[in-house]
Amino acid sequence: MASEITYAEVKFKNDSSAAVIKGPPPETKKHEHHPKKYLPWLPWLISLLLFLVCIALVVLLAVLFSHSADQPPALQQNFTEWLCNSMVPQGKEQGWTCCPNGWKRFRESCYYFSEDLLSWVESEQNCTGMGSHVVVINSEAEQNFLSEAMKSLGGQNYYIGLRAQEVGQWHWVDQAPLNVTAAFWRTGEPTNSTAEPCVVIHRQTAPPNNWNDIRCERHNRICEAAAVTVRWRS
């Protein structure tokens, strides 16, 4: 008996799709924020510039308050507000002439006309305390300027820096003797009395001759100081 051979038909299904290997998703590369890098010498440069600016400001202030050798240092220490006028240019040099606010300027000097009354000694102390002195009159032009400036004021008598150390011996506060060619006495003055060693400008007497010797009692005063000058070359 012949053995039977059994055939079985086997079909293999051919899957053409490629095998997909699944794994964890690829890591997304995060965008890194790096801080901006400054040049290492930049802070030093900024510090140097600030230092130079400070020096420039100090130099500027020193120039603005430069003054002539006879300028009392106390004047600018006592006042913070100033009134300045342009100087007449001299060649390449230009500048300003300044007086404390409320003072009047004539040429290279500043003048203060008081509203209160003091004795002559107190007047001298008050002017000195402001960095000035009781006015010294050197010319008829200066005398006329003071007389004109006083017209709108309310005082009667204004002390000037002239006083008799001995009868008839008139000296200014800077110890200079009175120059008779620049003396502006009222008619009949001075009386040359021991009781009247001080001198005032009498406001209601017509200039230029309006000086009067008087008792050293309480009167108005005129203080004088050299103007502050600011110069530069163009």
CA distances from 173 to 113, 118, 134, 155 (A): 17, 17, 7, 22
In this structure, is residue 59 part of a structural domain?
A: no
Is residue 46 helix, strand or coil?
Answer: helix
**Number of domains, the chain:** 1
Q: Is residue 15 part of a domain?
A: no
In a domain, 86, yes or no: yes
pLDDT digits (tens, 9 = 90+) for 113-131: 999 999 999 999 999 999 9
pTM score, whole prediction: 0.67
Q: Among 120, 76, 77, which Cα is nearest to 99's?
A: 76
Mean pLDDT of 66-85: 68
Q: Looking at the domain assignment, is residue 49 inside a domain?
A: no
- For the cut 90, the answer to whether the pLDDT of residue 199 exceeds it is yes
Report the pLDDT averaged over residues 204-216: 96
Looking at per-residue pLDDT, the higher value among 100 and 33 belongs to 100
| Stronger pLDDT, 49 or 123, i.e. the higher one | 123
59 or 226, higher pLDDT: 226
**pLDDT the model gives residue 125:** 96
18: in domain: no
In a domain, 93, yes or no: yes
Nearest one of 100, 120, 109 to 145, comparing CA atoms: 109
Q: Where are the beta strands (DSSP E) in 79-186?
A: 82-86, 93-100, 104-106, 109-113, 133-134, 157-166, 169-172
Tell me if 22 is assigned to some domain. no
Q: What is the pLDDT of residues 3-47, one digit of tens each?
A: 444 444 444 344 444 444 445 555 555 555 555 555 677 777 888
Peptide bond into 208 cis (omega under 30): yes
pLDDT digits (tens, 9 = 90+) for 150-188: 999 999 999 999 999 899 999 999 999 999 999 999 999
Q: In this prediction, what percent of the chain has a pLDDT beyond 70? A: 72
By residue range, what is the domain housing residue 154?
A: 64-233
Within-domain flag for 24: no
Task: Say which CATH number the domain at 122 has.
Answer: 3.10.100.10
